[in-house]
């Protein structure tokens, strides 16, 4: 069962490329969730979190380039949010790799809540800026 489901009304920022990337991000969170709760998953939690880190870096680079090109006024704060999330993902990766005691529900709660909050607040801010 998926942890997150794309909902255009809730998640769309009004930029097709970014919406497509956000859909991919949700799919990666669901893939990680499956790897943590299903013992017969085709991907390990370690592989899933690393795939998420790689995709997150790619997505953030594209999003930040878009904001810089348009001279988005809240760019610096938005970039700091991205940097914080990458650090959080890297810490989760280390915790999973080192078998540090961290609950699966904690991992998924962190990812789900951050993503939903970031898209619904920060990303919708640049979406509104670009639509003007």
pLDDT band for position 61 (cuts 50, 70, 90): very high
Q: What is the mean pLDDT of residues 52-79?
A: 94
Q: What is the pTM for the complete model shown?
A: 0.85
pLDDT of residue 22: 92
pLDDT of residue 28: 86
Concatenating the DSSP letter of every residue in 44-93 gives -HHHHHHHHHHHHHHHHHHHHHHHHHTT-TTHHHHHHHHHHHHHHHHHHH
CATH of 15-131, one of 3.50.50.60, 3.40.630.30, 3.40.50.2020, 1.20.120.50: 1.20.120.50
Query: Mapping DSSP to helix (H, G, I), strand (E, B) and coil, where does residue 102 land?
Result: coil
pLDDT per position as a tens digit, 16-41: 999 999 999 898 888 888 887 776 66
Quote the distance between the C-alpha of residue 63 and its chain's center.
Answer: 12
Rounded distance, CA 49 to CA 70, Å?
Answer: 31
In the predicted structure, residue 83 carries a pLDDT above the cut 80: yes
What residues does each domain of the chain span? Answer: 15-131
């Amino acid at each position: 069962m998926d942890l997150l489901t794309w909902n255009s009304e809730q998640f769309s920022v009004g930029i097709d490329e970014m919406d497509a990337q956000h859909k991919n991000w949700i799919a990666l969170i669901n893939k990680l969730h499956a790897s943590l709760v299903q013992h017969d998953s085709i991907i390990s939690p370690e592989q899933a979190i690393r795939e998420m880190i790689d995709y997150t870096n790619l997505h953030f680079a594209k999003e930040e380039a878009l904001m810089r090109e348009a001279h988005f006024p809240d760019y610096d704060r938005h970039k700091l949010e991205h940097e914080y999330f990458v650090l959080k993902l890297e810490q989760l990766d280390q915790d999973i790799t080192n078998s540090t005691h961290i609950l699966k529900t904690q991992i998924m709660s962190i990812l789900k809540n951050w993503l939903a909050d970031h898209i619904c607040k920060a990303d919708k801010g640049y979406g509104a800026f670009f639509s003007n």
